[in-house]
């Protein structure tokens, strides 16, 4: 009897392996990489202005007592187009939005803002993604809620869609 | 219908769609800027380049998550290679650069996981499996004698 049971062990192992494989295939692990800097002070950075007639954004501006939304975007980023109207709506509701353009050209940024609206106060140009990496951001678009003391309170990975607006507004409120 | 038309020499809608799809730009967008200077250029100092390359093989790409930044063609991977080369050229130790990245992206970003409570099964597994295998083999061999 004991020998019979032992014979079944490989089959059981195979079944267990197949079960785990099927489970992982049907619900793959989350591939979103969040920044570990949530709850920490915004790292220091300074960037050249993305557009000649517009102010840029630096880390120093964030410790002025007012919570802000730091949006990481690019004119070549398709989901950023979907996010644009939501950012405009956030601005209409009083959210101060600063922006960092990743690997972008002034003429492309200007065309993007002309076409999809311009909710930004300052726009910095991050030509080699260095500031993006400094923030622990892994793609475009991403947004950070930074409180008035310059602490990162919340990170939103991916475009802020209409259904995310309540969360972002609540986080902005909490950051006051 | 469309099959019959294509036989008569005119392109069918299927062929037309195939051509359109082949010509379409991929949805995975890239910027219009060239890669960073140090993304694919070796450092003049061979020792530093060796250190940088070794680290690149142990840092995971944030875009193509199964690949190291050394193997990935993603733009961000190029920028990460440039960052690694520049920091090492500036005199930073590879362990410092790795720590800088781990601080931002977590242990996940390194292919060399640290030993800590959460990862000890990972490190202990080979030893346990080897011991179990040795025990089995020893029992088998003794029985045969």
**What three-state secondary structure class fits A93?**
coil
| Same domain flag for B86 and B139 | no
- For residue B29, which residues of chain A lie inside 8 Å, CB to CB? 76-78
| Same domain flag for B133 and B73 | no
Strand partners, A72: A100, A142
| Same domain flag for B65 and B92 | yes
- For residue A31, which residues of chain B lie inside 8 Å, CB to CB? 65
Which tokens sit at B2? Answer: 């469309």
- For residue B79, which residues of chain A lie inside 8 Å, CB to CB? 103, 128-130, 133
Shortest CB distance from B31 goes to which of A76, A133, A135? A76
ipTM: 0.87
Extended strands (E) in chain A: 68-73, 97-102, 123-126, 142-146, 152-157
**pLDDT tens-place values along chain A, 176 residues long:** 677 888 899 999 999 999 999 998 998 878 888 999 999 999 999 999 999 999 999 999 998 999 999 999 999 999 999 999 999 999 999 999 999 999 999 999 999 999 999 999 999 999 999 999 999 999 999 999 999 999 999 999 999 999 999 999 999 999 98
CATH (residue range A59-174)? 3.40.30.10
Q: What is the pLDDT of residues B53-102, one digit of tens each?
A: 999 999 999 998 889 999 999 999 999 999 999 999 999 999 999 999 99
Q: What is the pLDDT of residues A50-100, one digit of tens each?
A: 999 999 999 999 989 999 999 999 999 999 999 999 999 999 999 999 999
- CA distance linking residue A106 with residue A128, whole number of Å: 15
- Contact indicator for A101, A123 with CB cutoff of 8 Å: yes
Q: Which residue of B has its CA nearest to A77?
A: B29
- CA distance linking residue A77 with residue A158, whole number of Å: 11
Q: Which residue of A has its CA nearest to B74?
A: A139
Extended strands (E) in A24-171: 68-73, 97-102, 123-126, 142-146, 152-157
CA A7-A11-A17 angle, 5° bins: 145
With a cut of 50, say whether residue B113 has pLDDT above it. Answer: yes
Cis peptide preceding A141, ω within 30 of 0: yes
Using CA atoms of A62, A67, A73, A78 in order, give the dihedral in degrees to the nearest 10. Answer: 180
| Same domain flag for B19 and B49 | no
- CA distance linking residue A128 with residue B33, whole number of Å: 9
Q: What is the pLDDT of residues B18-64, one digit of tens each?
A: 776 666 654 456 888 999 999 999 999 999 999 999 999 999 999 98
Contact criterion met (CB < 8 Å) for B104 and A37: yes
Give the pTM.
0.81
Say yes or no: B64 contacts chain A, CB-CB below 8 A: no
- CA distance linking residue B8 with residue B14, whole number of Å: 14
Structural domain for B23, as ranges: 1-30
| Same domain flag for B108 and B122 | no
Note the pLDDT of residue B27.
Answer: 47
Look up tokens 């910027």; give the residue. Answer: B31
Shortest CB distance from A129 goes to which of B76, B105, B106? B76
With a cut of 50, say whether residue B4 has pLDDT above it. Answer: no
- CA distance linking residue B9 with residue A168, whole number of Å: 57
Number of separate domains in chain B = 3
With a cut of 80, say whether residue B11 has pLDDT above it. Answer: no
Task: Break chain A into its structural domains and give their ranges.
Answer: 59-174
Which tokens sit at B124? Answer: 């202990």
Cα-Cα-Cα-Cα dihedral sign, residues A79, A82, A88, A93: negative
Look up tokens 């930004």; give the residue. Answer: A120
Q: Count contacts between A and B (CB, < 8 Å).
A: 64
| Same domain flag for B137 and B109 | no
**What three-state secondary structure class fits A129?**
coil
| Same domain flag for B72 and B46 | yes
| Same domain flag for B17 and B58 | no
Cα-Cα-Cα-Cα dihedral sign, residues A153, B98, A48, A115: negative
| Same domain flag for B100 and B48 | yes
Which tokens sit at A76? Answer: 């070549």
């Amino acid at each position: 009897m004991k020998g019979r049971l032992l014979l079944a062990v490989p089959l059981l192992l195979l079944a267990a392996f197949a079960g785990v494989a099927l489970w992982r295939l049907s619900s793959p692990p989350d591939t979103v990489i969040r920044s570990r800097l949530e709850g920490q002070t915004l790292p220091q950075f300074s960037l050249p202005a993305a557009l000649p007639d517009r102010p840029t954004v630096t880390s120093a501006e964030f410790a002025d007592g007012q919570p802000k939304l730091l949006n990481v975007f690019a004119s070549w980023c398709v989901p950023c187009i979907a996010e644009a109207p939501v950012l405009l709506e956030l601005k209409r509701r009083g959210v101060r939005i600063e922006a960092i353009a990743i690997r972008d050209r002034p003429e492309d940024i200007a065309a993007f803002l002309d076409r999809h609206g311009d909710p930004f106060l300052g726009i910095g140009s991050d030509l080699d993604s260095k500031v993006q990496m400094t923030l622990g951001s892994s793609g475009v678009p991403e947004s950070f809620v930074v409180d008035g003391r310059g602490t990162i309170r919340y990170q939103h990975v991916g475009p802020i869609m209409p259904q995310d607006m309540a969360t972002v507004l609540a986080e902005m409120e909490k950051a006051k | 219908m469309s099959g019959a038309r294509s036989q008569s020499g005119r392109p069918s809608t299927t062929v037309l769609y195939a051509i359109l799809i082949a010509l379409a730009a991929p949805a995975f967008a890239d910027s219009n800027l060239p890669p960073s200077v140090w993304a694919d250029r070796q450092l003049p100092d061979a020792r530093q380049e060796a250190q940088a390359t070794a680290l690149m093989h142990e840092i995971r790409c944030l875009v193509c998550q199964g690949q190291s930044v050394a193997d990935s063609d993603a733009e961000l991977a190029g920028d990460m290679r440039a960052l690694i080369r520049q920091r090492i050229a500036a005199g930073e130790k590879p362990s410092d650069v790795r720590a800088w990245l781990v601080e931002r992206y977590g242990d996940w970003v390194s292919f060399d996981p640290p030993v800590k409570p959460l990862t000890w099964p990972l490190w202990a597994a080979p030893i346990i499996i080897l011991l179990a295998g040795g025990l089995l083999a020893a029992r088998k061999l003794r029985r045969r004698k």
